[in-house]
Structure 1
Amino acid sequence: MDLQLSGRVAVVTGASKGIGLAVARTLAEEGAHVVAASRTASAEWPGKVVHVAVDLMDPQAPAEVVARAVEEFGGLDILVNNAGGPPPGVTLPRAGFMTPDDADWGAMFEFNLFSLVRMIRAAVPIMVERGGGSIVNVSSTIARQPGAINVDYGAAKAAVNQVGKAVAEEFGPQGVRVNTVTPGPVLTDWWTKDGGAAEVFAGMVGSDRDSVITEVAPTMMKLTTGRLIHPQEVADAIVLLASPRSGSTTGADFAVDGGSLKEL
C-alpha cells in the first residue's frame, strides 16, 4: 500500500531508539524527509535523516527543531511526538503516590507534556500555512489505567490525551489532524538496559530480569498476546496515522497494547 508519504517533511522526537527510531526509519523508507530530534544520534538511521541534537527539557528546543525542518525542507507536514518516559536521569517504575516529590512531578510533566505542547505550538502554524498536516502523539496505557505505579507518569500521559483531542478539534477545520497512539509495554531499553524496568520489577517481585520480560510482566499487565510489544508494531500504526491514507481520522486514540486494555 502506497502511504503517499514521498516528499513529505516529518519531525520525530525521541528518534534515536525504540519506537522513535522505528518511526524515523519507516518514514524515511516511505520516502519522507525526516528530521530526528534527540539528545544523541543513531547509527541505525538511514543516511538521509537529518539529526537535530536537542534536549526537549529546554523550552527553546521545540522551536529550534521545527525551524530546522523548515530550513532544510521548506516546511512541515508530519509531527510525531514520541519523546517521553522517564526524564533524563530517572529510572522507572516508581511505586507509590507518596514517592515522587514536587521536583519529580515537575520533571515528569516537563518531559512528557510541556515539551509536547511546545512542539505542537511550533508546528501548527507551519502546517496551517501549508494547508494541513498530521500530528501523532505517543501516550501510554497507564494514562487509562491509573494505579500505584508511576502515578506522575500516568497523569502526564493522561494530559497528553486531552491535549491531542483539544488540538484536533480546534485545528481540524484548517487541515491539521491530531491522533494518539497508546502503546502498552514495549520491548525497548527502558525494559532491557542494566538497571531498567525489568530489573526494578524483578527486585519488587523476587524474580529475575529475563523472567520479568518473558513471563512476569505479560502476566501482571494482562497482555492477551502473552508478550511485550515490538517497537515496529507501534511505529506501523503511527506511520499509517501520519499518512494521507488516514485523512478522515482525527481526534482518535489507537491502542497497540497487546490486549491489555479490556474495557469498551
Structure 2
Amino acid sequence: MDMRLSGKVAVVTGASKGIGLAVVRTLLDEGAKVAAVSRKSTPELDALAGPDLLHVPADLMHPDAPAQIVARAAEAFGGLDVLVNNAGGPPPGVTLPRTSFLDAGEQDWYAVFELNLFAVVRMVRAALPHLLERRGAIVNVSSTNARQPSPINVDYCAAKAGLTNLTKVLAEEFGPQGVRVNTVSPGPVRTPWWTDPGGVADIIAERAGTDRDTVMDSAVPQMMGLTIGRLVDPQEVADAVVLLASPRSAGTMGADVVVDGGMLKSI
C-alpha cells in the first residue's frame, strides 16, 4: 500500500533507537524526508544517512529545544507535515521500574513529566504553525500504562495518561482546521530500554532471582498476559505510527491505537 508520504517532511523524536529508529526507517522507505531527533546518534541511525535524513542532536528536557528542532527541519526540507512525539521513558538520572509509589521523589516526578509530557507540549506548540499550513498530522507515542496503572511506574503512568488526554484535546481543537492528531500506545516492546545492560530486563531478573533472557522470553509475557506470548517488536509499533501519519488515515482522529501483544483485556 502506498502511504502517500513521498516528499512529506517529518520530525521524529527519540529517533536513534527502538521504536523511534523503526519509525525513521519506515518513513524513509515511504519516501519521506525525516528530521531525526535524539541526544546523540547511533550506528543504526548513521546507517540510514542520506539526503532525506537530517539528524538533529537535541535534549528535549531543554525548553528551547523544540522550537530549534522545528526550525532546523523546516529550513532543511522546506516545511513540516508530520510530527511524531516518540521520545519518552525514564529521563537521565531516573531508573524505572520502581518498587513502590514511595520510591519516586518530587524531582523524579518533575523529570518524568518533563520528558514524557511537557516536552511534547512544547514540540506541538512549535510545530503547529507548519502543520496548520500544510494540514499535517501528529502522532503521539503513549503507553498502555496510560490505561493500566502500575505502582512500579507510577509517575510514568501518570505522565502517559496526561499525554493520551492531551492528544484527545488537540484532536478536538485542531482537527477541524485540518491537523490530524492520534496516539499509538505500545505495551512492552523489545527495545534497548529492556535489553541494554542494566535495563528493565536486568532489573526484573535481579529482583526475581532469574536471568534476563528468561525475563524477556517467558516471565514478562506470562506476567503481563501477552496473548502473543512475546514482547512486541519495534517495527510493529512503527507500522501503526506511520499508518496514522499517512493521509491513508484521513478519517482517523483522536484515536488511540494499541499495539500491546494483547496485554490490555478491558473493553
The question of a shared fold, defined as TM-score above 0.5 by the shorter chain, is answered with yes
Match of 1:228 in 2: 231
Q: Quick one: which amino acid aligns to residue 27 of structure 2?
A: L
Task: Give the match's secondary structure for 2:119.
Answer: helix
Aligned residues: 263
User: Structure 1 runs of 4+ off > 3 angstroms?
Assistant: none
1:31 aligns with 2:31: yes
Match of 2:218 in 1: 215
Worse-matched range after superposition: 173-182 or 88-97: 88-97
Shift of 1:211: 0.5
Match of 2:120 in 1: 116
Match of 2:246 in 1: 243
Q: Deviations over 1:81-137 (max 9, x none)?
A: 00000101322111211110000000000010000110011111111122x111000
Shift of 1:42: 2.7
1:257 aligns with 2:260: yes
CA distance in 2, matches of 1:231, 1:164: 22
1:47 aligns with 2:49: yes
CA distance in 2, matches of 1:30, 1:42: 22
In structure 2, stretches of 5+ residues that fail to align are none
Q: Quick one: which amino acid aligns to residue 236 of structure 2?
A: E
Q: Quick one: which amino acid aligns to residue 233 of structure 1?
A: E
Match of 1:206 in 2: 209
Shift of 1:43: 2.8
Task: Please give the residue correspondences for 1:28-107 in structure 2 after superposition, counting only pairs within 5 Å.
Answer: 28-45=28-45, 46-48=48-50, 49-107=53-111
Match of 1:21 in 2: 21
Task: Give the match's secondary structure for 2:158.
Answer: helix
Task: Give the match's secondary structure for 1:98.
Answer: helix
Q: What RMSD in Å do the two structures reach over aligned CA positions?
A: 0.8
Task: Give the match's secondary structure for 2:101.
Answer: coil
Task: Please give the residue correspondences for 1:115-134 in structure 2 after superposition, counting only pairs within 5 Å.
Answer: 115-130=119-134, 132-134=135-137
Worse-matched range after superposition: 75-84 or 195-204: 195-204
1:144 aligns with 2:147: yes
Match of 2:184 in 1: 181
CA distance in 2, matches of 1:95, 1:136: 31
Task: Give the match's secondary structure for 2:72.
Answer: helix
CA distance in 2, matches of 1:254, 1:55: 27
TM-score normalised to structure 2 length: 0.97
Shift of 1:258: 0.2
CA distance in 2, matches of 1:225, 1:200: 23
Shift of 1:205: 1.8
Shift of 1:41: 1.1
CA distance in 2, matches of 1:127, 1:105: 31
CA distance in 2, matches of 1:43, 1:11: 19
Worse-matched range after superposition: 38-47 or 15-24: 38-47
CA distance in 2, matches of 1:149, 1:44: 31
CA distance in 2, matches of 1:241, 1:172: 14
Match of 1:3 in 2: 3
Percent same amino acid among aligned pairs? Answer: 65
Q: Deviations over 1:67-86 (max 9, x none)?
A: 01110111110000000001
CA distance in 1, matches of 2:66, 2:43: 23
TM-score normalised to structure 1 length: 0.98
CA distance in 1, matches of 2:31, 2:195: 31
